A = this chain, B = another copy of it.
């Protein structure tokens, strides 16, 4: 069994149970009949930097699980070199979500934001706690309905601008309630 397979089993377990296995469980996981075998294996993985162990011997994953390798740039235009080197790793959750309680996912219908690269079927991450600045893409309740648009503030005047020439800007008549600011857009193929 390779070293990747070793840590893979731990990652599997951690993903399933959201905690590290005890030594008794590691025994079952690898078919050992001695706790000490598990103990030695763990120490190796600690040295390899895959697992962390605190002073009291409790285990925790060492960032590796849940983190995704980040390579360099890819040029969409002309072919260039991508360093085949891993620059660092990144946890998607930590990267995209600052405050979990005030964050929501919304699926997008329609094409009014197409020029901003937001297409029909995309998912947006919206944060309710972030203050809306001029130029932000916001989720807003305007005159009784909900919409997603660019926010344009000019003095005390507020407009909601689409990113599609076929649609007109919205100037709120009665109520404008900005519910959330779009912090990210995700498209899944």
Which residues between 47 and 95 of chain A lie within 8 Å of chain B, taking CB atoms? Answer: 58-61, 65-66, 68-82, 90-93, 95
A136 CA to B189 CA, complexed, in Å = 8
A104 CA to B19 CA, complexed, in Å = 25
Contact A100 B68 (CB under 8 A): yes
Q: Of residues A20, A107, A189, which shows the largest number of chain B Cβ atoms within 10 Å of its Cβ?
A: A189
Residue of B nearest to A145 (CB): B79
Residue of B nearest to A179 (CB): B82
Contacts of A109 in B (CB 8 A): 73-77, 80
Shortest C-beta distance, A57 to chain B (Å), equals 12
A61 CA to B82 CA, complexed, in Å = 39
Contacts of A68 in B (CB 8 A): 97, 100, 103-105, 125
What are some 9 contacts across the A-B interface (CB < 8 A)? A11-B100, A72-B107, A74-B139, A76-B148, A77-B112, A79-B144, A92-B92, A117-B118, A117-B187
